[in-house]
Amino acid sequence: MSEIISNAVIESILSRRSIRSYTDAQISDRELETILQAGIWAPTARNAQEINFYVIQNKDSIRELAERYSKYAFNDGKVRNFAYGAPTLILLYGKSGARFMEIDAGIAAENMTLAAHSLGLGSLIIGCIKEYLYSDDGREYATSIGISEDLSFGIALAIGHTNEPTPSKPRLEDRIKYIK
């Protein structure tokens, strides 16, 4: 393999990690707006722009979601803090039945996590709550925070100030195949 080109974008992509330990400090409104704009400007299939961004910065609401998810998925009395204490949780929802909604949400999520990283913030892309948010109880929770019933969950992001950085892990080899 030849040496890759290095620039700010490539360095950001290669150095970003999934963070699982956050401080209690909330991100600033300016940081949040910058991250949301990175999501808004993500490309979408057929330029549909159907992804909606629901920002939760209320600790009780994030805790309630964690409790309800844990009861639904595990029902063992333990609460899974899937956001790892991040003070900001962003739920990405799109039009139910939209053919490329989850792909569009994933593209927006990657833009947003790279934007957060470029601002010195940590982030985590969260998919484990998907089945819960599609359940009757999950739809009830979504409705309780103002998410329209004609929308479906795509993906979520935890964002905040990193408490403990995540070390890099080796990449698996032999995943690139050339057809020239």
- Give the model's pLDDT for residue 127: 97
- Give the model's pLDDT for residue 1: 53
For 124-163, the pLDDT digits (tens) are 999 999 999 999 999 999 999 999 999 999 999 999 999 9
Q: What CATH number is given for 16-160 in this structure? A: 3.40.109.10
Helices 29-40, 101-118: axis angle to 10 degrees equals: 140
Residue 74 contacts residue 68 (beta carbons within 8 Å): no
Which element (helix H / strand E) includes 144? helix 136-144
The pLDDT of residue 14 is above 90: yes
Integer angstrom CA distances of residue 90 from 8, 144, 157, 159: 25, 16, 5, 8
Could you state, in order of their start, the residue ranges of all structural domains in the chain?
16-160
